[in-house]
Amino acid sequence: MSSLVALTNLVLGTAYCGYGVMTAVEMRRDWRTHGFTHFGMAWLLMAFTCGPHHLVHGVHILFEGRHGGVLDLYSVVIGLPAGVTWLALRVEAFAGGRGDRFISGDPRWLRALPAAAALYAGSLVIGMAATLGGSLHPTPLVVPNLFLVVIYLTISWFVLRTQLRNHPQLGGWSLSGLSLAVIFATCGLMHAVWAVYTATGAYTFDIHGLVIDWLSLPAGLYFLSVVRGLYRDAIHDWNTVTVDADPLPSHALHGG
């Protein structure tokens, strides 16, 4: 189990950092033509805090004897399909492609997602509650992770709310936007698991994780301010994707 948790985190960390590099290249390449991009900068900061979080965790498990918890793996693996989809679309956009797909109507698999999400979240909460039933040995790592739970779930809500707001007019959904909403929801739940494991002493204190998680707070708050600004039409950003069938500006699709 620990090896699988370590491998998953190392892959995620590498993917985040790789996307951060890609975003930096894109921002530099298009700066003179389009100017500054809040969404690109927000993702740059997120990538280089989320990535190191997963990399450091993977290293601690693989080489320093930290035990990888089953809830950790469960919280991360569920979000992998959405993460792979989002990354593939962003790579496509980076290469000059559309970077999104329009989902027409309300297909059956999409209608099943709310129930599946409730089942996933409920089972995770039950697992965390059972884990907290033991003795508590909290470390300072609990605090930033609890803040990150709130920040990431709020980001997910703004992205999803954008989709819900535009659905009646568009008659469908942005695959990129839905993927992003799922990513941040599962990230928030993953940090909830982290808070539980650090509170029970399953994940012991390490200074690397503490520094990275505290740095993640301003990065997450900036990302939240960007998606909120896009939702309220207070920010207009070029670094978004275009859906051919979409009559609205692309930022209206996914709040970023």
What does the DSSP assignment read for 41-76?
A: HHHHHHHHHHHHHHHHHHHHHHHH-PPPPHHHHHHH
Domain-embedded: residue 30: no
Domain-embedded: residue 9: no
Pick from 211, 217, 219, 224: nearest CA to 148 = 217
Domain-embedded: residue 38: no
pLDDT at residue 135 in the model: 76
CA R_g for the chain: 18
Q: Are 107 and 180 within 8 A, CB to CB?
A: no
Q: Cα(160)–Cα(221) distance, rounded to whole angstroms? A: 17
**Could you list the residue range(s) of the whole structural domain that residue 166 is in?**
70-254
Q: What is the pTM of this model?
A: 0.88
Question: Could you give phi then psi for residue 232, rounded to 5 degrees?
Answer: -90, 5
Domain-embedded: residue 135: yes
pLDDT at residue 32 in the model: 79
Domain-embedded: residue 49: no
Q: Where are the alpha helices (DSSP H) in 65-200?
A: 70-77, 80-94, 108-111, 113-132, 142-170, 175-199
Domain-embedded: residue 174: yes
Pick from 196, 194, 190: nearest CA to 137 = 196
Q: Cα(234)–Cα(202) distance, rounded to whole angstroms? A: 43
Question: Could you give phi then psi for residue 102, rounded to 5 degrees?
Answer: -95, 125
Q: Are 40 and 26 within 8 A, CB to CB?
A: yes
- The number of residues making up the chain comes to 256
The CA-based angle 204-75-3, given to 5 degrees, is 60
pLDDT at residue 251 in the model: 40
Domain-embedded: residue 192: yes
Concatenated DSSP letters for 199-218?
Answer: HTTSS---HHHHHHHHHHHH
Q: What is the count of structural domains for the chain?
A: 1
In single-letter form, the type of residue at position 34 comes to H
> How far lies 175's CA from each of 59, 115, 178, 197, 238, in Å?
33, 19, 5, 33, 18
- One digit per residue, the tens of pLDDT, for the chain of length 256 reads 788 999 999 999 999 999 999 999 988 888 878 788 888 899 999 999 999 999 999 999 988 888 888 999 998 888 888 989 999 998 998 888 888 999 999 999 999 999 999 999 999 999 999 998 877 888 889 999 999 999 999 999 999 998 999 899 989 999 999 999 999 999 999 999 999 999 998 888 889 999 999 999 999 999 999 999 888 877 777 665 433 334 444 443 444 3
Q: Cα(184)–Cα(205) distance, rounded to whole angstroms? A: 25
Q: Are 252 and 166 within 8 A, CB to CB?
A: yes
Domain-embedded: residue 218: yes
